A and B are shown apart, each in its own frame.
Chain A
Amino acid sequence: MTKKRNYRPLRSADKLKKTMNRYYGLTTYHRYWGKIAKRPLAWVTSGAPVELLRAFKIHPAYPEQYAAIYSTNKATAQLCQVAEGEGYSQDLCSYARSNIGGVLRPDLAPLGGMPKPDLLVACNNICGTVLKWYEVIARHYDVPLLVLDTPYLTHEMTDHAKEYVLAQLKDMIIQLEKITGRPLDEKELAKQMEISSQTTSLWKKARQYCRELPSPLNAPDLFIHMAPIVVLRGTKAGLEYYKAFHEEVEERYKEKLGAVENERIRLVWDNIAIWPKVFSFNKMFTERGGCFVTDTYSGGWAIDLAPGSPLESLAATYTEVFLNRSPEFRYRQLVELIREYNADGFVMHSNRSCKPYSLVQEVIRRRVTEETGVPGLMIEADMADPRAYAEEPIRNRVQAFLETFDD
């Protein structure tokens, strides 16, 4: 007897697998082709201006994304323990700890760990942790560390903040020219940005179909299918993938096919996924007709590129990311999502590994509920480390929360 599913799998999953496997293959075997093709490998943070790197023909690899893979493959706890054994506190980011564990013990890491970088590029628009983490990696491998310091925006972007980021981008170009031995190809940069823009637009449009009832996508779809928008941003492979993905979501929308059978409760998710429990956690909701119709996390890559010259656009786009903004901004963003997506409630993951995301959540939760009348649930866990996930207390809280929608 086949097990009854509460969710509808996406056909695009096969294409996603092929697209991503090709990328991992290229990355894993970079040592065989990188030097010949004169394409250095950079470890980059998820919020780094990758279009600029691609214009220099740099092959980017994303430690955060690998860390998510380590987690879904149940390797994080062991890798974190390796890093903890070296003195890295258990209170530090689990992406960083598992990455360091993978560096020290690649034999324990899925995909054989990450290939050795030729350089590191960090942008602190997502957190301050990335700088400290990449400093450690830079010391370990003795490779150049390029940092784009995007000032935290207490209100709106200021002229001097933009000028500062712009000055750093110009300086980064000089450094990249030295490292790669190539001059900046401005046409290539413009092309990369155009592809990024088209890809972002498709990701955004596909997500917007979820405003309708029933929602064609659920949170795990968003979390899994965001991989190319992060790691293949600015590439033809990424663009082709999202054309197919968009087409399928549009088809579901037209045929009114929901991601969750008998969608009953529409929810918004806030924070990074709980990767080690991404499906089992979600199941608690789908079996009661709960569907996460949108989220703030994967939505971070659905923001249009800012106008202006390529460098001005990069400066604004990468500084104005939501994690670099005030609680006021984040509160308004959540209220808008709840209204646009006709949500009945929201769930916040208080993520021990991500302080900038999590520390402001409670004040936002209260204000959003006051403003919208919609209830919000707070769950404490960790994005990658399963040791921070307390199964039964979380189940009880989720059940109690979902019961409030029964009347």
Chain B
Amino acid sequence: MNQWSIAEGKNGPLSLLLAESKEKGANRQERYPQHRFFGLCCSYFPEELVMAFGLEPLRMLPKSETATPAELPSFSCSLARGLWDMEKGNQWRDLVGIGFVHTCDTMQCLSGIWEFAGQTKNITIVPPVMLKAAGGFEYYKKEVEGAWEGLKSLTGENPPLEKLREAMVLCQKIREQVQKLDKIRPFLPSSLVPAILRAGQLMPKEQYLEILKEIIPQLEEETSHSGQRVKVMITGAVLESDSLYNMIEELGGRVVADDTCTGSRHFSGDYQESKDPFTDLVERYVKMDPCPCKNKSLNERIDLVKETALKNEAEGVIILIRKFCEPHAWDAVSLEESLQKAGLRTFVLELDGSEAAGQERTRLQAFIESIQEQRDTEKGGGFQ
């Protein structure tokens, strides 16, 4: 499927990112023996805190979406089941610790179970759910400062605040690169950008930034129009594999925008520097594109997804629900209504995890074909 030439060698920079993405953080000790990792379950845990302590943030992704650990009921999502199953299998034992963030009821329970019955040490941040509520900002800041203290206890180290500022600068530079990538996303195979973004949550940040700086200009040069591919946006939670993106590409679609936890949403928002790094940090996390677990106002997220789809000229939006993921399932109905009113085709797809298979293929094909047919009828659209 790859139609670009910058990753010709097996050890080329792009190949490294794609391999990272595929590995999902496995073999990290062999790959990066000089680095110590700290696991994170959600984008709302400020990774800059972790980096200030000389640790590398690692997005924790499940190895299997069919794990059924006895401690969790069958109606828990596969993300929770998979992560906990790996804890039982001692697959997180090398981590210095794990950072949880209270987002949904399932993550609340998982962090509780981890503290109650797990082995790996953890720190939990409980951000405000109502991001613009009275007192919310001050409260969030105290939670972040609490996590900073927690990291001090966990590591026995006491880094100066300059280290935090350095980490923030590094993350900001990465975000700037990601914005460039997002701009050329429509001209690249659907799975490429998500894989690159996922790699950035699994490997040492400095190295990641260097590779982005190297490959993005080359990717910009290699972009080409994509014929009559159907332009779609994906909105959903964590996507730990490229399966769905590949399927969309194979069926004649092209993912032109993404609103997923492991995708563009993770890199949204920026800083405005003041005297206090904690204030700046929290401001960015409040500014970040909200996930369905957070509320800035009644329709802000719904409107944002719609605007992103329209801005990127998507013809359809795939609303992805991970089975038993309640926040995304709740938003799906209002999202679908809002998108349809804006003239966009929608397709609600429920997956156990991130792997799309035969049944999904048939439905996805029908969705993409329906857009193609509509386009044929209207005799317009497509990439020119």
**Chain A interface (Cβ < 8 Å from any Cβ of B):** 86-89, 91-93, 124, 127-129, 131-133, 135-136, 138-139, 145, 147, 149, 151-152, 154, 158, 160-161, 163-168, 170-171, 326-328, 331, 350, 352, 355-356, 358-364, 367, 380
| A170→B108 CA distance, assembly (Å) | 27
Given known contacts A167-B135, A363-B113, A89 and B128 CB-to-CB distance under 8 angstroms: no
Q: Is the CB of A147 within 8 A of B105?
A: no
Interchain nearest-CB distance for B303 vs A (Å): 12
- In B130-182, which residues have CB < 8 Å from any A CB? 130, 133-136, 138-139, 142-143, 146
Q: Is B102 an interface residue (CB 8 A)?
A: yes
| Residues of B in contact with A (beta carbons under 8 Å apart) | 70-76, 80, 102-106, 108-113, 115-117, 124, 126, 128-130, 133-136, 138-139, 142-143, 146, 292-293, 295, 298-299, 321, 323-324, 326-327, 329-334, 336, 348, 350
B298 partner, pick from A91, A135, A168, A362, beta carbons under 8 A: A135
CA of A167 to CA of B136 in the docked complex: distance in angstroms? 9
Cα distance A165–B103 in the bound complex, in angstroms: 18
17 CB contacts below 8 A, A to B, read A87-B348, A92-B329, A128-B105, A132-B326, A136-B334, A139-B298, A158-B142, A161-B126, A164-B139, A167-B135, A168-B134, A326-B116, A352-B73, A355-B75, A356-B105, A356-B108, A362-B72
Q: Are A166 and B124 in contact (CB under 8 A)?
A: no
- Assembly CA distance A132 to B110 (angstroms): 20
User: Which partner residue on chain A sits nearest B116 by CB separation?
Assistant: A327
Residues of B within 8 A of A128 (CB): 103-105, 108, 129, 293, 326-327
Docked CA distance A160–B149 (Å): 15
A-B Cβ contacts below 8 A, count: 160
Give bound CA distance, A149 to B126, whole Å: 11
State A163–B80 Cα separation when bound (angstroms).
31
Tell me the smallest distance from the CB of A329 to a CB of chain B, in Å: 9
Contact B115 A136 (CB under 8 A): no
List of A residues within 8 angstroms of B136 by Cβ:
149, 164
In the bound complex, CA of A86 to CA of B337 (Å): 10
A350 contacts across to B, CB distance below 8 A: 73
The distance in angstroms between the C-alpha atoms of A105 and B143, with both chains bound, is: 44
Say whether chain A's binding surface is mostly helix, strand, loop, or mixed.
Answer: helix
**A169 and chain B: residue at smallest CB distance:** B134
Q: Contact: B330 with A92, CB < 8 Å? A: yes
A167 contact set on B, CB distance < 8 A:
133-135, 138
Within the complex, which residue of A151, A355, A362, A367 is in contact with B139, where a contact is CB–CB below 8 Å? A151
Given contacts A132-B331, A139-B299, 11 further A-B contacts (CB under 8 A): A91-B326, A92-B329, A124-B129, A136-B334, A138-B298, A147-B133, A149-B128, A151-B139, A164-B128, A331-B116, A359-B80
CA distance A167 to B333 in the complex (A): 32
- B-chain residues with CB within 8 Å of residue A367 when the two chains form the complex: 116-117
Cross-interface CB contact of A131 among B129, B135, B333, cutoff 8 Å: B129
Minimum CB–CB distance for A339 against chain B, Å? 20
Chain B residues whose C-beta falls within 8 Å of the C-beta of A360 in the assembled complex: 109, 112-113, 116
Nearest CB of A to B32, in Å: 30
**Which of A149, A161, A166 has the most CB atoms of chain B within a 10 A radius of its CB?**
A149
Residue among A158, A167, A363 having the largest count of chain B Cβ atoms under 10 Å? A363
Once the chains are docked, how many angstroms separate the CA of A152 from the CA of B111? 11
Return chain A residues, CB-CB under 8 Å to B326.
91-93, 128-129, 132, 355
- Report the separation of the CA atoms of residues A149 and B127 in the bound assembly, to the nearest whole angstrom: 10
Chain A residues near B327 (CB, 8 Å)? 128, 132
- Most interface-central of B74, B139, B295 (chain A CB within 10 A): B139
Question: Contacting A160 at CB < 8 Å: which of B70, B110, B138, B323?
Answer: B138
Question: In the complex, which residues of chain B have a beta carbon less than 8 angstroms from the beta carbon of A139?
Answer: 298-299, 334
Q: Which residues of A contact B108 (CB under 8 A)?
A: 128, 152, 356
The reply to whether B73 and A328 contact each other, CB–CB distance below 8 Å, is no
Chain B residues whose CB sits within 8 angstroms of the CB of A362 once the complex forms: 70-73
- Complexed CA–CA distance, A327 and B72 (Å): 13
A147 contacts B295, CB within 8 Å? yes
- Nearest A-chain residue to B124, judged by Cβ: A154
Among B112, B117, B136, B299, find the residue whose CB has the most chain A CB atoms closer than 10 A.
Answer: B112
Measured CB to CB, the closest approach of chain B to A321, in angstroms, equals 14
Nearest first, the 7 closest Cβ-Cβ pairs linking A and B are A167-B135, A132-B330, A359-B109, A164-B139, A171-B134, A160-B142, A355-B105
Q: Shortest distance in angstroms between B216's beta carbon and chain A's nearest beta carbon?
A: 37
Asked whether, in the complex, the Cβ of A131 is within 8 Å of the Cβ of B295, the reply is yes
Q: Contacts A154-B124, A331-B116 hold; do A160 and B139 have CB atoms under 8 A apart?
A: yes
Given the known interface contacts A355-B106, A360-B109, the answer about A91 and B329 at a Cβ–Cβ threshold of 8 Å is yes
Q: Give CA–CA (A87, B347) in the complex, Å.
A: 12
**Which of B71, B106, B108, B334 neighbours the largest number of chain A CB atoms within 10 Å of its CB?**
B108
Which among B80, B109, B333 is the interface contact of A356 at CB below 8 angstroms? B109
**Contacting pair A363 B292 (CB below 8 A):** no
Instruction: For the complex, give the distance between the alpha carbons of A154 and B114 in Å.
Output: 12
C-alpha gap A91/B105 in the complex (Å): 14
A240 to B135 alpha-carbon distance, docked (Å): 38
Please give, as numbers and ranges, the residues of chain B lying within 8 Å of A138 by CB-CB distance.
298
| Chain B residues closer than 8 Å to A327, beta-carbon distance | 109, 112-113, 115-117
Asked whether A154 lies within 8 Å of B115 as measured between CB atoms, the reply is yes
A131 contacts across to B, CB distance below 8 A: 129, 295
Q: Could you tell me the distance between the alpha carbons of A218 and B190 in the complex, rounded to whole angstroms?
A: 59
CA distance A89 to B117 in the complex (A): 31
- Taking a contact as CB atoms under 8 Å apart, the answer to whether B133 and A149 are in contact is yes
Which residues of chain B come closer than 8 Å to A136, judged between CB atoms? Answer: 330, 333-334
Q: A380, B116: Cβ atoms under 8 Å?
A: no
Name which residue of chain A comes closest to B72, CB basis.
A359
The listed residue (A89, A160, A358) touching B73 by CB distance below 8 A is A358
Chain B contacts of A158 at CB under 8 A? 142, 146
Find out whether the CB atom of A154 lies under 8 angstroms from the CB atom of B106.
no
Q: Does A149 lie within 8 Å of B129, measured CB to CB?
A: yes
Contact in complex: A363, B105 (CB < 8 Å)? no
**How far does the Cβ of A323 sit from chain B's closest Cβ, in whole Å?**
10
Residues of B within 8 A of A147 (CB): 129-130, 133, 295
Q: Closest Cβ of chain A: how far from B164's Cβ, in Å? A: 20
User: How far apart sit A149 and B129, CA to CA, in the bound complex (Å)?
Assistant: 6
